[in-house]
């Protein structure tokens, strides 16, 4: 939609082919129905939140950055508000207003919209110029330039079924490995399901790939019946590229604000105060209730022994579990639960200044179909807006040249 608006603004005659019965099905469910459409951070911060190929995004973000996105929507009558972490939402809290704003702009610019119109392939001349798209009904729609903005593979019911990856491969482009990202992790330990529903705030999570640290972050996470989820875990998944059979170790620091020395003193104090209680009844001030039986089980300390008889070695084990609560990550949940797709059309085959294919003249790419992804906070939609805007401008230019 952004690519179409930008191409029309630059003077091109534009048609959107959308296979769904309406536009913006995925946009509708973004930000839990509120659409976190960008992030009002400093421009450099946009790049530090882009995990795969941030350098590829320089021109696109320069052409249409977060301020430009906010101006674009505000000028079109969609009032915005900025929340915690600079996350930008429509003031109404309705993602439908973002879709409505875009739809109104498309109407004003006379963009043709063909709903229920699935594209099944691209039409390319022998000398590698795009000549149009092939539709499911077998007809060819001719075009001087084509922008592929078919999204990734997550939440297939919204229409993103990975068709663009196939179109790109069929026309000689490389597609990097596709993985679900911003997605919960599955863990081997049975105690995850015991802890289901327990949310941990202000904890630190570290993920190790053998001896290499893959991720370390601070925030909020959640246990589920299959493993772990929550904002901290989704961020961690951005740094994970699944290889066959790989198993990662994860450690939760339940008391990141306390050094080991300070925590040890705290344990000693708690044990003194609760000396005559059974060990299992002495931990209430230290851990959430649901976690206590699991911590005791991992520690191997007899839960019925008097707290004043817990040995120094046992206390040390408790400290170790508190600072490094262990989990084994066996993989991620599927694309059905992933916010985005990691991987996509290789940036090596796309000109970053125009979003045009380096292989097929007049063919452009925009959005999640490209091998660029970012953390949560409005950054993935910013990628879609920026690449869409740049692709639209340049597709219009190519169209003009070819007329």
Ligand X SMILES: Cc1cc2nc3c(=O)[nH]c(=O)nc-3n(C[C@H](O)[C@H](O)[C@H](O)COP(=O)(O)OP(=O)(O)OC[C@H]3O[C@@H](n4cnc5c(N)ncnc54)[C@H](O)[C@@H]3O)c2cc1C
Residues in contact with ligand X by the rule CB under 6 A: 17-20, 25-27, 29-31, 35-36, 118-119, 149-151, 154-155, 158-160, 163, 339-340, 367-369, 378-381, 384
34 or 317: CB nearest ligand X = 34
Q: 362 or 367: whose CB is closer to ligand X?
A: 367
Smallest distance, ligand X to C-beta of residue 81, A: 14
Look up residue 24 and give its DSSP letter: -
Q: Which residues pair with 340 in a beta bridge?
A: 181
Could you give the CA distance from residue 284 to residue 326 in angstroms, rounded to a whole number?
Answer: 20
Parallel, antiparallel or unpaired: strands 363-365 and 130-135? unpaired
Least separation, in Å, of the C-beta of 386 and ligand X? 11
Element (H, E) at 102: helix 95-108
């Amino acid at each position: 939609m952004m690519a179409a608006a930008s191409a029309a603004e630059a003077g091109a005659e534009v048609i959107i082919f959308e296979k769904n019965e309406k536009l913006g099905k995925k946009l509708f469910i973004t930000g839990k129905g509120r659409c976190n459409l960008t992030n009002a951070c400093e421009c450099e911060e946009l790049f530090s939140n882009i995990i795969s190929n941030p350098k590829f995004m320089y021109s696109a973000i320069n052409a249409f950055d977060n301020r430009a996105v906010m101006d674009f929507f505000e000028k079109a009558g969609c009032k915005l508000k900025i929340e915690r972490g600079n996350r930008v939402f429509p003031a109404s809290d309705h993602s439908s207003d973002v879709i409505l704003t875009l739809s109104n702009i498309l109407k004003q610019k006379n963009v043709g919209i063909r709903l229920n119109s699935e594209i099944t392939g691209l039409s390319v001349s022998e000398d590698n110029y795009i000549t149009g798209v092939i539709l499911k009904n077998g007809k060819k729609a001719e075009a001087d330039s084509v922008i592929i903005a078919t999204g990734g593979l997550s939440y297939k019911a919204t229409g993103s079924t990975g068709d663009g990856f196939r179109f790109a491969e069929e026309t000689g482009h490389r597609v990097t490995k596709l993985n679900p990202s911003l997605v919960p992790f599955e863990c081997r330990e049975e105690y995850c399901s015991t802890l289901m529903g327990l949310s941990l705030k202000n904890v630190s999570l570290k993920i190790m790939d053998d001896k290499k640290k893959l991720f370390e972050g601070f925030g909020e996470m959640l246990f589920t019946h299959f493993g772990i989820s929550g904002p901290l875990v989704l961020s961690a998944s951005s740094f994970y590229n699944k290889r066959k059979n790989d198993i990662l170790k994860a450690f939760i620091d339940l008391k990141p604000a306390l050094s080991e020395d300070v925590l040890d003193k705290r344990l000693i104090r708690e044990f003194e105060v609760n000396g005559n209680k059974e060990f299992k009844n002495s931990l209430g001030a230290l851990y959430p209730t649901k976690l206590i039986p699991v911590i005791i089980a991992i520690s191997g300390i007899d839960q019925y022994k008097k707290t004043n008889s817990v040995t120094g070695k046992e206390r040390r084990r408790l400290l170790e579990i508190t600072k490094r609560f262990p989990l084994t990550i066996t993989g991620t949940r599927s694309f059905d639960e992933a916010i985005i797709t990691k991987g996509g059309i290789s940036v090596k085959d796309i000109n970053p200044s125009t979003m045009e294919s380096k292989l097929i003249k007049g063919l452009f790419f925009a959005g999640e179909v490209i091998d660029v992804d970012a953390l949560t906070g409005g950054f993935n939609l910013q990628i879609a807006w920026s690449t869409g805007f740049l692709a639209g401008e340049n597709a219009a230019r190519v169209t003009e040249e070819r007329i």
